A and B are shown apart, each in its own frame.
Chain A
Amino acid sequence: MAELTYRDAVAAGIAQEMARDERVVFLGEDVAHAGGVFKATVGLLDKFGPKRVRDCPISEQAILGAAMGAAMTGLRPIAEIMFSDFLAVCWDIVANEIAKSRYMTNGQVQMPLVIRTANGAGSRFGAQHSQSVENWAMMIPGIKVVAPAFPADVKGLIAAAVRSDDPVLVFEQKSLYPFKGEVPDGEHVDELGKARVLRRGKDCTIVALALMVHRALAAAEILEKEHGISCTVIDVRSLVPLDTLTILAEVAATGRLVTVEENPRLCGWGAEIASIIADECFWELDGPIIRITTPHIPLPSADHLEDNTIPSVERIVREISEKID
């Protein structure tokens, strides 16, 4: 096991797949010579050359359109959209073209491509560079959606995404890029559609994603020590496919569900999970479902405001300790 940062795990995952398969190509804005604005793709140009690692104009529709056309004709492209907020300017390509072409052509069209993008708040960038938009992607039939919280998952899920014959949107958490963690040596490939239970408790089950996983874990420690509330924490990791079996089993075991979501409240991913639990696990519940989310507002930029907007460890502790006894 080597210790890597989350950002180095991105490059390691891409490099592992590019070395294995010549059909894998990588394109985006400032990704090659500059190594990415978050320095997550440093070294790929040197390793694989300008034919396979390509800088693009600021043309998000062209980037994703080109990735799509290449995927339809025998390549397995990885495209970077610098900030997930920018998906809005090429959403037609994602939602209308990439997601639907296989279905509309009754399976004629192949679409093995990966879109990587930096998602989430914590960098004080304001409302157009800080959003958590995983719920946008989740609601489009035809796209798989993952959001890793740990460096090992970054590498493994990127590898799984590249090897998937379906389009996969990988949401990287921009505030986690410096985060360090153990990554298995040698080839590391994860599986799409698998949640992970990170700790088990008996009083409630917290379901979280990406940065919120780390906050949920920290909150669970405090809840245990200071409030005597013992929590299970699940890292969802993959929104589509969704590992409902793991979530249902763990919620049934504690009798309570808490979702911790960075996306704004309306139609956040936790709403779907709450709906599934209400449908299929209602009689196992000991109390109401709790959703802890960013409020339904655009994000403010000042550190003091931003910190009080997205769910914090303190807020998770407070809400759970007030509502669960």
Chain B
Amino acid sequence: MDTKVKNKKSAAAEDDIGRDIRLELFRMQLELRLCEKRAYDLFLQNLIKGTSHLSLGQEAIAAAFGVAMRPDDYTFCTYRGHAHTLARGASMTGVLGELMGRECGLLGGKGGSMHLTDVSKGAMGSYAIIGAHLPVAAGAAWSAQYRGTEQVAVCFFGDGTTNIGAFHEALNFSVVWKLPVIFVCENNLYMEYTPISAVTAVEHPAADRAAAYNLEKIVVDGNDVDAMYRTATKYIDRARKGGGPALIEAMTYRHSGHSRADPGKYRPEGELEKWLEYDPIKIYRERLLGLGIVEATLTDIEGEVMQQVNEATETAKASAPPSLDGIYQHVWADGGAAWRN
């Protein structure tokens, strides 16, 4: 207790972000990291089947937006979406359960890793076709604008998405209709196996296209959660007040390959090591200590999050396989699957 009181007087409390938000950002990044690492471990134990696309190394972006967003805002993300879904407050048991194909899964085992969704938390879906969710996010923003709710839609996607038509259609459409939508490109330097720079006409695949849609060029250090949080807050507020969309390019790096099947051997020697040194959680921990937050506070959080992940893992493991009834449920709004009488 004494430590916590003392910490409130630390330098971190004085600036625009402040101590409490910083600890929240630290905790959320850890939740995303440790849950994702657990997902990887469960793969190795063959408890998770199918494919999976990990966000290891990219947590700062989802965490910053997760903390900055209003509970009723909308998130749209990609098949690399475990982190973004968790960042809206979706249950870790629900996420791990879905990855393991259990009854307790967020989607009852019917969506899997690439389609995590928790509508009750504003996590409006993970989309596995590149680019598809950008216009869908625009539509949610249109609905918010039409209903006058001041909700904002945030749409995350990878650098590879910037070369598909839906990206360009959605940007033009959103700007012309002045929609409250934030497009966030997580540029981790590779689409799947190919460097984005090898197949793209501009240096910054998202930001250098912004001018074509009368948007400002925004490039942020996606591994600096403070920078991401400030950017997120600024453009979410602007969109909420009717200022229209933003296109943000966050520079980052994924520590693992594209998917489960990819060891990432195409990366030049030393590149991964360099980025591991610039790990968003590592650098944030150092920053928090530098700002006067005592280490015990951080280790407490680390312990709590590890326990949370362990408990979620055990609960999910203990959950039964989904009932076969689910196969014929929820094709239609009446809950069924009938196509004929």
Q: Are A73 and B140 in contact (CB under 8 A)?
A: yes
| Cβ-neighbour of B166 out of A65, A74, A103, A104 (below 8 A) | A65
- Chain B residues contacting A108 (CB-CB under 8 Å) are 107, 117-120
Chain A interface residue number, banded: 35 or more
Q: Are B339 and A241 in contact (CB under 8 A)?
A: yes
Q: Does B110 contact A (CB under 8 A)?
A: yes
Q: Are B333 and A165 in contact (CB under 8 A)?
A: yes
Q: Are B165 and A110 in contact (CB under 8 A)?
A: no
Q: Are A107 and B329 in contact (CB under 8 A)?
A: yes
- Chain B residues contacting A32 (CB-CB under 8 Å) are none
Q: Does A161 contact B (CB under 8 A)?
A: no
**Contact residues, B102-160 vs A (CB, 8 A):** 107-108, 110-111, 115, 117-120, 124-125, 127, 129, 131-144, 146-147, 153
Q: Are B142 and A241 in contact (CB under 8 A)?
A: no
Between A56, A59, A73, A96, the greatest number of chain B beta carbons within 10 A of the residue's beta carbon is seen for: A73
Q: Using known A-B contacts A51-B146, A69-B136, determine if residue A105 contacts B107 with beta carbons closer than 8 Å.
A: yes
Q: Does A242 contact B (CB under 8 A)?
A: yes
- Report the minimal beta-carbon distance from B297 to chain A, rounded to whole angstroms: 37
Cα A97 to Cα B12 with chains together (Å): 44
One digit per residue, 1 when the CB lies within 8 angstroms of any chain B CB and 0 when it does not, for chain A 52-89 equals: 00101101011111111111111101000000000000
Between A61, A63, A241, A244, the greatest number of chain B beta carbons within 10 A of the residue's beta carbon is seen for: A61
Q: Does B11 contact A (CB under 8 A)?
A: no
Q: Does B242 contact A (CB under 8 A)?
A: no
Q: Are B329 and A106 in contact (CB under 8 A)?
A: yes
Q: Does B176 contact A (CB under 8 A)?
A: yes
Q: Are A166 and B125 in contact (CB under 8 A)?
A: no
Query: Which of B59-67, B167-175, B185-193, B287-295 sits within the interface?
Result: B167-175
- Chain A residues contacting B131 (CB-CB under 8 Å) are 61
* Number of residue pairs A-B, CB distance < 8 angstroms: 168
Q: Does B212 contact A (CB under 8 A)?
A: no
| Cβ-neighbour of A69 out of B118, B141, B165 (below 8 A) | B141
- Report the minimal beta-carbon distance from A94 to chain B, rounded to whole angstroms: 11
- Report the minimal beta-carbon distance from B257 to chain A, rounded to whole angstroms: 24
- Chain B residues contacting A222 (CB-CB under 8 Å) are none
- Chain B residues contacting A193 (CB-CB under 8 Å) are 341
- Chain A residue nearest to B138 (CB atoms) is A66
- Report the minimal beta-carbon distance from B80 to chain A, rounded to whole angstroms: 17
| Cβ-neighbour of A75 out of B108, B110, B135, B143 (below 8 A) | B143
16 contacts between A and B (CB under 8 A): A57-B169, A61-B170, A65-B138, A67-B139, A68-B135, A69-B76, A69-B141, A73-B124, A73-B139, A103-B110, A106-B108, A107-B335, A108-B118, A142-B331, A165-B332, A241-B341
Q: Which residues of B contact A (CB under 8 A)?
A: 74, 76, 107-108, 110-111, 115, 117-120, 124-125, 127, 129, 131-144, 146-147, 153, 165-166, 169-170, 172-173, 176-177, 326, 329-335, 337-341
Q: Which residues of A contact B (CB under 8 A)?
A: 25, 51, 54, 56-57, 59, 61-75, 77, 92-93, 96-97, 101-112, 141-142, 164-166, 193, 240-245, 276
